[in-house]
Structure 1
Amino acid sequence: MGDSGRPGRPPAPSKGRGAVSNLQGRFERDRREAFDDGWAPAGEMPARADAVEAPASEAGPRLVTHVTLEQARSILTRNASPDIPFDVSLNPYRGCEHGCIYCFARPTHAYLDLSPGLDFESRLFAKANAAERLRHALSRPFYRCETIALGVNTDAYQPIEREHRITRSVLEVLHACDHPVALITKSALIERDIDLLAPMAAKRLAVAAVTITTLDAGLARTLEPRAAAPSRRLRTIRTLSEAGIPVGVSVAPLIPFVTEPDLERILEAAREAGAVYANYIVLRLPWEVRPLFEEWLQAHFPDRAERVMNRVRDMRGGKDYDADFASRMRGTGIWADLLRQRFYKAADRLGYRYNRYELDTSRFRPPALPAPPAPRQGSLF
C-alpha cells in the first residue's frame, strides 16, 4: 500500500510520491489494517502487468503508475462557487501524477472507491474522447461562449500528457473555433503548445498561470514530487511571456512555516521572469487532505508539525478547515491578515495586476460536426 514500515510504526514516504500512505476514502465501508505475516519485504508493492513502472533511479518502495482510458459522457463542468473566477472548466484527467500532498482534488478519488492518498497519484484516468465531447458541446445550438478554465481540478500537463496528448487535442479544438481558454499548471510541458497558444493570445483568446509554491528545490521534491522544479517553472513563465502569452503566478498554497516564508521572493522572481498578474491561496485541508497532510508533516517536518497545524487552525477559526466561500481561499484572523498585507504590499511594489484578463468571446465560431452517414436503401431482391 505504500506504508513501508511494519505494523505499529508510522508510514514512511516513498521517493517520488507525495502521499505517505494509501489512506482509505470516506465512502469505503470495509477497513483494512496492515499485518506483517513475515513473508513479504516491508513496503513491497505487487507488480502490475498493465502498469508503467516508476523510474528505476528512485529508491524506496516500488510503486507503479496505472492509467485507465475512459470515455467521458460529458466534458464541461459548470462552477457555482462564488469565490472561483471562472464558470466553466475542463479536466482531461482524473488523479494527478504530480503528487502534490496539499491538492484539494485528492478527495475526488474517494468517489471512485480509490484512496485519495497514493492511489490519487498512481491510479489515473484519462478521458480519451475529451476533444470529441468538447466539439459536440461547442456545436450545440444554444451554447453560450465563456472562457474555459483548462486543468483546474488536476494538472492538464501532468507527465502522462506527454504520451496521451489529450490536452493538446482539446486546445486544437479551441484554437480552430477561436474559443477563449485559461490554463494553470506546474509543468513546463505547456511550452510544447505555444504554437497554438501564442496565436490565440494575439487575439485575446488565451492566458496562462504557473503555480509556484516554493523556490526551495529540496522542499518542492517532497511537497510536489513529480511537478517541474521551481527554477524550471520560472523559465516557463519567461518562455510564455516572450511568446506574447499573458502569464501570471499563483503562489499556492501558503503553508505556515513551510512555504509561507518564500512569499515575497516568489513574487519577485516571477515578476522578473515576466509574470504580469498574481494571486495567492492559503492552505486548504478538506476531507482526506487533512490526515494525508499531517502524515506528510510527521514524515518530513516532525519538529514543526504541531506548530504548522496550530497556525492553520488560527486561520480557520480554530478548525482544521472551514469551507465558507467567503474565507476558504484566504483564511481569517490576525495571521491571515498578515499574509494578505504581505502579499499586496509586495505585489503593489512589483507592479502586478490582480484583475483577471478579460478574453474575447465574440470571435467564437461553433465547430462543424461530421455529417451523419447517409441512410442506405435496402434491396427488395
Structure 2
Amino acid sequence: MTVIPVDLSNSPYDIHVRAGLLADVGAILRSYARDSRLLVVTDENVAHAVLPQFAATLSSAGISCAHFILPAGEAGKSWVQLERLTDWLLEQHVERSDHIVALGGGVVGDITGFAAHIIKRGCPFVQIPTTLLAQVDSSVGGKTAINSAAGKNLVGAFHQPALVLIDPEILSTLPTRQLTAGFAEIVKYGLIDDPAFFAFCADNLDSFFAGDPDIRAQAIIRSVQSKARIVAADETERTGTRALLNLGHTFGHALEADTGFSDRLFHGEAVAAGMALAFRYSVRLGLCPADDGMRVTALLKRAGLPTTLSEAGVTANGAALVDYMRHDKKMSGGTLPFLLARGIGHTFLSKDVALDDVAAFLDSDV
C-alpha cells in the first residue's frame, strides 16, 4: 500500500493506492460505516461492472449498503440529478455522521461531493474512483460541482473527501477510450512542472497501454503526489499555485461546450486538445520553443488523443469558442487568466491574454 497524505490544515486526509485494494474495501471502510451501513452513489456503467462485487465485499465485512444510480456520462452532473440525489439521501435518513461513498468516475465524484457538501450543511464523503481520470485528478483536491446551461462546473464548492481509495487493477475493466482520456491528465503533471515525468510518460507509453502493472502504478502514484503537493499549497486557488492544474482546461471546457458536454468528446480528450492548443499558442506568442510544442502534440497523438479542433470534432470558429470561455469561472474584471508555457515543465498563469487574439489563433490553427 502506498499512502499519500494531503496536508491541509483544516481537513487533511490520506490517499491509498494499492492493486487489489477493492477486494479488501469492507475492512477499510468498516470504521466509516454508521450503524454498519454505507450510502453509495454510482452510475449505470459502474453499477453493472463493479457494484455487485463491491456490495458483496462490504457484506462480508458486516456492512450493508444502499445505492443510488446516476446516468452515465456528463448527463449525471445536472440540477435534475442533484435534486434526485439529495432527495434520495434524505429518504435514507442521512445524518451528518454518515460517510457518503462516491464509487465511479469524475462525474460521480463531483456530484456526490457537492451533494455531501450541501446536505444537512455538510456530510463527509469517501472517493473510490473507478476511471483513470478520476484516480489521477478529480478524486483528489476537493473540487465538487455540477454543470449548468452556461457551462461546465459553474455551480459547486470545495469539499475535501475524508479518504480516497485507488485500485489500479480496476483499470482493466475500462474501455480503451476511457483509459486514453485519463492518460491526458497524467501527461499534464509533467507539463506543469516536472519534465522528467513527461519523459517517463513518453518512454513508457506503450507499456502503460499494454497493461504493465508497475508502470501504471508508478504513473498513478506520481500523478497523485503532484496533485496533493499543489493542492496542499493552495487549497482554494487563492495564491494561483493550484490554478496550474487547469492547464488545458480553458481551451478544453470551450471544446466540451461546443460538443454539448457529451460523449462526443470526453473530458480528458478535451483537456488533451486544450493542452496542445495552449502549447501551440505559447509558441505563437514567442514564449515556448517550437520543438517543445511539437513534442507535446506528438506524445498526445501517440496516445490516440485529439490535438486539434477538427480531431476533437469541434466545428465552431474562434469567436464562438471564446464566447464559451467568457463564462469561465476564472473570469475576473473582464480578464480571463490562461495557463501558458515557457517550455515542457514550465507552465505559468498569464493574466494579460487578449481574447480577440485567442480567437484569431483558433481560426488559424490547423
Q: TM-score scaled by structure 1?
A: 0.27
Which structure shows the bigger proportion of residues in helix conformation?
A: 2
Q: Report the structure number with the largest CA radius of gyration.
A: 1
Which structure shows the bigger proportion of residues in strand conformation?
A: 2
Report 1 or 2 for greater relative contact order, CA contacts < 8 Å, sequence distance ≥ 6: 1
